Structure 1
Amino acid sequence: MAKMSVLVLGGTQFVGRHIVEALLAGGHRVSVLTRGRTPDELPGEVERLRGDRNEGEAGLGALAGRAWDACVDVSGYTPRQVRASAQTLQDRVGRYVFVSTVSVYAEQDRHPIREDDPLLPEAGEDVTQVTGETYGPLKVTCERLVAEVLGERATILRPQIVAGPHDPTGRYTSWIDRVAAGGDFLAPGDGSDFVQVIDARDLARFAVTVLEEGVPGVFNLAGPRLGWREFLDTVREATGSDATPVWVDAATLEAHGLGWNELPVYVPAQGEQGGVMDVSNERARAAGLTLEGPLTTARDTRAWSAGTAQKAFLTPEREAEVLRAVGRGR
């Protein structure tokens, strides 16, 4: 396999960091273009370039006169950003891999969600505010721009919720840490709903695969689909915890105003977004996606999170309040 020169747009945080590490592990040369505003713990052999796509092509002066075998875009959220990079790199890279999201799908109650399912209406190219409402539509527009500019040299990755070490969102990690803390803990639903994430390292290896093999197309990236009981059993095994789940039904959760903001990753299977936890990875697996497994993800996430301050979601006080309501608290 010939070694490549690869430009990563972003690259110092979470998904980008794992992609950089996977590229280096494959013996490839890596440059990253960032604004330089977040901590950088990348190896010294990575070339650092500075730029800001929010300024359009004017913010990409560091790329002038340069060319790479490929580009991986992990930080493109708005059409202004992505049009600038796609057009600037159109004749300077062989393949352009754009990291999108499963949030682009219009019908999130489908089971399963597949790559050819309908997408949300596009956001206007003048939209620059990324919110819960605009995030998916903006990514739809960005996908279209990359495909238009790069054609068959474009690859679109649509990851499920991404989990693993160095995750700044804390969504998946919050469950790992709560189980690790032990004791009775609130478990949403009745155990029959589902959890599905993609380990950032599995995503990263697949990104390298499509670069090395020149694979075009659109791919959902999702890991195994676990029932909540299996998920929590896996986490208990990974953390060595004897924590006891207390299942709290949907009506009680609603009565206490508990939803995604306090119970991240929990999506009722029969709800309007139930398909988000039933994303088909069949196409990606046929193209080379490999999965380390839920136990590895949980174990390695805890090894990292144990020494790293994490974002709080469900406070101990709120959890105790609900557990008391179902007769399992003081």
Structure 2
Amino acid sequence: MKKVLVLGGTRFFGKHLVEALLQDGHDVTIATRGITEDFFGSRVKRLIVDREDEKQLTERLTDKSYDIVYDNLCYSSNAAKIICEVLRGKTKKYVMTSSMAVYEPALSLSEEDFNPYEYAIAYGDRNDFNYGEGKRLAEAVVFQQATFPVVAARFPVVIGENDYTKRLQFYVEHIVREEPIAVNDLDGKLSFIHEEEAGEFLAWCGMKDIEGPINACSNGVVSTREIIHFIEENTGIKSLIQEVGDHVAPYNELTNCTLHNGKANELGFPFRGLKIEIEKVLRYYIHAMK
């Protein structure tokens, strides 16, 4: 049994991470601002803390240490610097949720396509950078400065029934309501991972003897055209696709950006098939609109 701290474990795939850790019998503490209610009951311990407040985080973690710390809330170099300071001597391993956004868009991106160990660091908060640059800098800080082993799990777009961004849901809603969708590249390829699989992968990263950046995505790729076609087939409603318009489709700027998951695959993580996962989520959204 490992003693585990999860920073941000009450939303989306964070819930699945906590659930996977509990299923495996670990002693789990979740640290959040206490705004989002969780349903873990007495199965977890709780810390109420602002992840980006170094003084408060230091106080809350006084006299505490953990085998593994998971961080779902690291979006900037300043946030990463805080974690390097606060966790010094307090953990045997740190697993950060990172993103495909650290890469320049390309097909079959491998871990070597972005090297955080040599990336120049500029300090700032989340609002000082776009999402991708924030994640690049966060990785650079933890890999260059942490005094403990670090894993950065690089996820593509995460999909699922609990996705509060409603990006995949956008397609279903617009087609069912017969509203136009503006898409530049219908055939551009995309990688995805299901929320449950993302949580399971993070749990696995903590338990495996691995360090460094690691890609995670479901097996296979999908295009916007395939997503739209599936919705049309399962609703009997024809989509209204435009090249330009007000209703710009989510992922429009992300097409032709896919991950290669060979490293994790070789280390033994059993990725799911993307086609099955995305169709399951689309069916859920379609059913919800009936």
Residue 264 of structure 2: aligned partner: 284
Matched residue SS, 1:72:
strand
Let me know the Cα RMSD of the aligned residues: 2.9
Matched residue SS, 1:59:
helix
Q: Could you tell me how far apart the structure 2 residues matched to 1:56 and 1:28 are?
A: 26
Q: 2:125 pairs with 118, 123, 128, which one? A: 128
- CA drift of 1:34 comes to 0.9
Is 1:187–1:245's contact at 8 Å kept on the other side of the alignment?
Answer: no
- CA drift of 1:51 comes to 1.3
Partner amino acid, structure 2, of 1:222: C
Q: Could you tell me how far apart the structure 2 residues matched to 1:70 and 1:197 are?
A: 26
Q: 2:203 pairs with 208, 213, 218, which one? A: 208
Structure 2, unpaired ranges of 5+:
none
Is 2:182–2:241's contact at 8 Å kept on the other side of the alignment?
Answer: yes
Is 1:7–1:30's contact at 8 Å kept on the other side of the alignment?
Answer: yes
Is 2:154–2:215's contact at 8 Å kept on the other side of the alignment?
Answer: yes
- CA drift of 1:88 comes to 2.1
Q: 1:244 pairs with 238, 241, 261, which one? A: 238
- CA drift of 1:303 comes to 3.5
- CA drift of 1:115 comes to 1.3
Aligned: 1:175 with 2:155: no
Matched residue SS, 2:94:
strand
Residue 148 of structure 1: aligned partner: 144
Q: Could you tell me how far apart the structure 1 residues matched to 2:37 and 2:282 are?
A: 19
Residue 80 of structure 1: aligned partner: 78
Is 2:217–2:271's contact at 8 Å kept on the other side of the alignment?
Answer: no
Aligned: 1:264 with 2:259: no
Matched residue SS, 2:53:
helix
Q: 2:280 pairs with 296, 299, 323, which one? A: 299
Residue 115 of structure 1: aligned partner: 111
Q: Could you tell me how far apart the structure 2 residues matched to 1:137 and 1:208 are?
A: 25
Partner amino acid, structure 2, of 1:263: A
Residue 326 of structure 1: aligned partner: none
Matched residue SS, 2:251:
coil
Q: Percent identity?
A: 23
Partner amino acid, structure 2, of 1:264: P
Partner amino acid, structure 1, of 2:262: E
Q: Which has the larger radius of gyration?
A: 1
Structure 1, unpaired ranges of 5+:
268-272, 309-330
Q: Could you tell me how far apart the structure 1 residues matched to 2:150 and 2:35 are?
A: 28
Q: Could you tell me how far apart the structure 2 residues matched to 1:202 and 1:156 are?
A: 16
- CA drift of 1:247 comes to 4.3
Partner amino acid, structure 2, of 1:211: G
Q: 2:23 pairs with 22, 25, 30, which one? A: 25
Is 1:234–1:295's contact at 8 Å kept on the other side of the alignment?
Answer: no
Partner amino acid, structure 2, of 1:148: Q
- CA drift of 1:73 comes to 0.5
Residue 68 of structure 2: aligned partner: 70
Q: 1:196 pairs with 191, 194, 203, which one? A: 191
Is 1:122–1:140's contact at 8 Å kept on the other side of the alignment?
Answer: no
Matched residue SS, 1:8:
strand
- CA drift of 1:97 comes to 0.4
Is 1:22–1:205's contact at 8 Å kept on the other side of the alignment?
Answer: yes
Q: 1:11 pairs with 9, 12, 16, which one? A: 9
Q: Deviations over 1:78-134 (max 9, x none)?
A: 2222222233223222211011111112x32x3332211146965622x11436x53
Q: Could you tell me how far apart the structure 2 residues matched to 1:55 and 1:305 are?
A: 41
Residue 317 of structure 1: aligned partner: none
Q: Could you tell me how far apart the structure 1 residues matched to 2:256 and 2:58 are?
A: 38
Q: Deviations over 1:148-187 (max 9, x none)?
A: 34467211111111111221211122224445x3758647
Q: Deviations over 1:204-229 (max 9, x none)?
A: 11111122222212112223211333
Q: Could you tell me how far apart the structure 1 residues matched to 2:58 and 2:287 are?
A: 38
Aligned: 1:229 with 2:225: yes
Q: Could you tell me how far apart the structure 2 residues matched to 1:51 and 1:88 are?
A: 13
Partner amino acid, structure 2, of 1:128: D
What is the total number of aligned residue pairs between the two structures?
Answer: 285
